[in-house]
Structure 1
Amino acid sequence: MLNMMQDCITPTMEQLMFFHDHIMMILTMIMMVVSYLLNNVMINKKMNNNLLDGQMIELIWTIVPTMTLFFIAAPSLRLLYLMDEMNKPMMTMKIIGNQWYWTYEYSDFKESEFNSYMETYNKNYRLLDTDTRMMLPTNTFVRLMVTSSDVIHSWTLPSTGIKIDGTPGRLNQASTLMNRTGIIYGQCSEICGANHSFMPIVVEMMPINNFIKWMTK
């Protein structure tokens, strides 16, 4: 789908992609080594009936996995630190999941709440476009607060690395920073009823000056 093929639009998602490539490289090396050893075991006909222990090989297969786990854990801990909540966001966006549409509220502005329904007449982006898009400024730290008015929803934007569950009676939050302008697409990622597939998400990023003009119309 289109929303799965979009480029990374936040520093967090870029780091997640780098981490994915890093893990895939390590897994590929492990697979090649294990396949080579298994192949040697299957074609090797030599046996040593007097072999009682192998302290050196046991030391090797203890140290090597430990070092491998270290090379996996170190960047993952760094990534968890980068994904941590920010203390002073520049603006807050409240998102409410409903059956089956989204309600957006700009908490820092007065009378700025609207509903976003799926656009039924768009043939180019079927099931992805909405009648009203959520607008966000670029290069701005934004706090996203997600909840639900009925059942559990999940507000998901794959190209930003954001997936937040909207739970009735609870506010879940995440932080983001969009580093370029454009339009990104997402969908509810939690089965929330019969029309679960018909509540898409569309976010349009614009320079902060244009965003202020849009908010003050």
Structure 2
Amino acid sequence: MTSGKTFRGAGWAVTALGLTLASVLISAAPASAQDAAASAPAAGSYTPMKPTPGVGMPVDGGIGLQQQYSKLGEYAHWIHDGVLMPLIALICLLVLVLLIVIALKFNRRANPIASKTSHNTILEVVWTLLPVLILIGIAVPSIDLIAKQYKPAPENALTIKITGNQWFWTYGYPDNGDFEVISNMLNLPGQPTINNGVREVGSRPWDGPSHLEVDNRMVVPAGEPIRLQITAADVIHSFAVPSLWFKLDAVPGRINEKVLFIEKPGVYYGQCSELCGAKHGYMPIAVEALPRAQYNAWVLTHPGGAIDGTKAAAAATGPASDALPAVATSEAAPTESAVDAVAEAE
């Protein structure tokens, strides 16, 4: 019995030595492989996107509408620049020509005997029907634009609830675990504090323009319709992002709904567009549109965040190569009591 116990103990020792050598070989793997494992992002990792200057934000000396990044915005931009502005320019030019002609042809010096004409059927029909036709031409695309803006979202569209507060925004994600994000304007360097406990703009590499950047953006997926439900907690606010052709009032006790569609990833800025109190000018909006995979990763960084009803799994504590030696060590060093128990059982 004693010799059997001795042999079994020697067997455990050989096994432990083999596992120890295996762990040493793993730790001696090429540095590049270890670095790649160590640098792999953990599940649910997220780094805010750096905005592109001039995209989704106002520019110095800019006139006209901001460049649009939604289908509705592009359609509205075409109506504004391709239909309304040329038509208005032609009408103004026509009125100016008529005024000049009247001033030159029908003044007292050029026309000492005034005309006593009181009716001109053709002229009256023309100046009545022509404005009617112009208004119809404007109404057709305008009504079409309004109808498209308030077309209901698809049944499976992502829903985000927006709440206006004095003076910050709250974004709720009921389809992704029902977590909330509070968005405050960043403080301005060298100026009085606007929001206590919030950092200053420019302190992170992804910060956008002052007066427009926030501590927590409203993150959404790009390239798909999003159902925005907007309300307010105190007074009337207005959620407006010019480059996305989006504006909808936030009214206490009422939910207004509209579809948001962003064509490509980026950061898009807006502001509250309803006078809501003393800090109305310090209530910006920052919308960050990400590809769906990156959006899902952002969701999983929040406690309770879920994708399609599945919550985030616990993040790994380290690369797999770091875990192997620990496992090998735990199996390679059986305690003496365990050896004795096996020997006695046999």
After TM superposition, give the deviation of residue 49 of structure 1 in Å: 3.5
Distance 1:18 1:48 in 2: 46
Q: Percent identity?
A: 34
Output the CA distance in 2 between the equivalents of 1:49 and 1:126. Answer: 64
Q: TM-score, normalised by structure 2?
A: 0.59
Partner of 1:125: 209
**Residue aligned with 1:3, SS:** coil
2:76 to 10, 16, 20: 16
Match of 1:183 among 257, 267, 282: 267
Counterpart pick for 2:173 among 106, 112, 125: 106
* Larger strand proportion of the pair: 1
Corresponding residue for residue 244 of structure 2: 160
**Residue identity opposite 1:96 in structure 2:** T
Deviations along 1:48-106, one digit per CA (max 9) or x if unpaired, are 63535311211221221122112111111221222122242511110111111111101
Partner of 2:97: 36
Count the aligned residue pairs. Answer: 217
User: For the structure 1 residues 92 and 71, does the alpha-carbon distance in structure 2 shift closer, same or farther, using more than 3 Å as the test?
Assistant: same
Uncovered stretches (5+) of structure 1, i.e. residues with no partner:
none
**For 2:99, what is the secondary structure of its paired residue?**
helix
Report the counterpart of residue 139 of structure 1 in structure 2: 223
Question: Which of 1 and 2 has greater Rg?
Answer: 2
Moved over 4 A (4+): none
On the 8 A contact 1:181/1:205 being kept in 2, the answer is yes
The alignment yields a C-alpha RMSD, in angstroms, of 1.9
Residue type matched to 1:122 in 2? V
Deviation at 1:29, TM superposition (A): 0.5
Larger helix proportion, structure 1 or 2?
A: 2
Would the aligned equivalents of 2:265 and 2:291 in 1 still touch at CA under 8 Å?
A: yes
122, 143, 148: which one aligns with 2:232:
148
Corresponding residue of 2:117: 51
Match of 2:138 in 1: 72
User: Conserved in 2, the CA contact under 8 Å of 1:128 and 1:200?
Assistant: yes
Asked if 1:212 corresponds to 2:296, the answer is yes
TM-score normalised to structure 1 length? 0.92
Mark the CA change 1:180 to 1:49 in structure 2 (over 3 Å): closer, same or farther. Answer: same
Aligned to 2:13: none
